[in-house]
Amino acid sequence: MKVFSIIGVSLSGKTTAVEVLTTELRRRKYRVGTVKDIHFEGFAMDVEGSNTYRHRMAGAQLVIARGLYETDILYQRRLSLKEILEFYDHDFVILEGSYDFWGPGIITAHTEKEIDERRRDLIFAVTGKIADQITEYRGLPVINSLTETKRLADLVEACVPDWAGQKEWMEQDDT
């Protein structure tokens, strides 16, 4: 399994990059999973008054909602990335907005300053709005994910090694 992140500020192209890379990697016959990190304090899948909320309030430590077309698993705590990745048996897992992952990744940005603020050792490309202005930044290729999807997917294939639980790719307190 190969795991990489896509990080950047809001509205810089993260979700677009996830969409086009997922589509292209699937076209190449890979199995692809994604994880979306949500940074809004008030976010919850399960809302007050719903049946799943009532289950949780009664003390259930794990709640599963199974509908006709999806199954949602609701833990009553934030899982570590290591725990989340144990659910996956895919060729690629794309982490959107996971700032506690220090492995291979792509930055989405509007400005060079945003790239500098997010740059890490294993970042291998930049995409997002800035790709309309530049094609390279301090040795990193800057690729328009909408018009150069195949090139970006080629880089993903070439730059993302197998994930084998590398501790150095995880936040220090992420167990």
Report the distance separating Cα 86 and Cα 70, nearest Å.
Answer: 20
169 and 103 in contact (C-beta within 8 Å)?
A: yes
Across the range 106-127, mean pLDDT stands at 97
Q: What is the pLDDT of residues 38-68, one digit of tens each?
A: 776 666 667 788 888 888 888 888 888 888 9
47 located within any domain: no
Q: What is the pLDDT of residues 72-88, one digit of tens each?
A: 888 878 888 999 999 99
- What CATH number does the domain containing 89 carry? 3.40.50.300
What are residue 72's phi and psi, to 5 degrees?
-115, 130
**pLDDT-based confidence at residue 117 (cuts at 50, 70, 90):** very high
What pLDDT does residue 40 have?
Answer: 66
62 located within any domain: no
* Residue 7 structural domain: 2-39+77-169
What pLDDT does residue 174 have?
Answer: 42
Number of domains the chain is built from: 1
70 located within any domain: no
The pTM of the full predicted model, rounded to 2 decimals, is: 0.89
Across the range 145-174, mean pLDDT stands at 89
Comparing 149 with 166, the larger pLDDT belongs to: 149
Mean pLDDT score of the chain: 90
86 located within any domain: yes
45 located within any domain: no
50 located within any domain: no
106 located within any domain: yes
57 located within any domain: no
Q: How far is CA 125 from CA 4, 110, 130, 136, in A?
A: 11, 14, 12, 9
